[in-house]
Amino acid sequence: MIYITRRAEFSASHYYHNSTLSEEENRRLFGKCANPHGHGHNYVLEVTVGGEMNPRTGMVLDLKDLKQLLEEEVMQVMDHKFLNKEVPVFATTIPTTENIAVEVWKLLAPKLTFARLHRIRLYETPDLFVEYYGEADGASEGK
């Protein structure tokens, strides 16, 4: 198995709010991220897929296919968007870096027919990133 990673950047805004909690609890839990007008980040997304080397091409996959899939399934959905308002899933799910990484996995996994999705890594800032390996990751550790 060889792993290959493609990086893409998108800019989006979000805020953290759980509607089942009081305003005070939201502010306590989420601090300045609870500001209802939102705030923005330049997200850096790294998508890692695994596969076998094609002996004819020396490639695991055609990177153009992965680039196009990222553009259609992620960039067009999230780039230059206010995630809470413009991406339907985040009307009910808080768009934390964790949840965005999981959502990117869910968008890509069913469409990735030419390789196996291995990892989503999402940087919210250069000093903060989340990695998600799919449901099997938790299951393998008995969670």
Residue 111 carries which DSSP code?
G
| Closest separation in Å from C-beta 69 to other proteins | 22
Q: Which residues contact 15 (CB under 8 A, 6 or more apart)?
A: 30, 33, 34, 35, 36, 37, 38, 39, 84
| Closest separation in Å from C-beta 59 to other proteins | 28
Does 17 participate in catalysis according to the annotation? no
Please pick, among 9, 52, 80, 135, the residue that the annotation labels catalytic: 80
| Closest separation in Å from C-beta 97 to other proteins | 8
3's torsion region: left (phi>0), alpha (psi -120 to 50) or beta?
beta
Does 72 participate in catalysis according to the annotation? no
Q: 């990892």: which residue's tokens? A: 119
Does 135 participate in catalysis according to the annotation? no
List residues near other proteins by CB under 8 A: 16, 18, 20-21, 29-31, 93-99, 101-102, 126-133, 135, 137-138, 141-143
* Closer CB to other proteins, 73 or 103, in the complex: 103
* Closer CB to other proteins, 24 or 141, in the complex: 141
Residues 69/5, Cβ–Cβ less than 8 Å: no
Residue 72 carries which DSSP code?
I
- Tell me the catalytic residues: 33, 80, 124
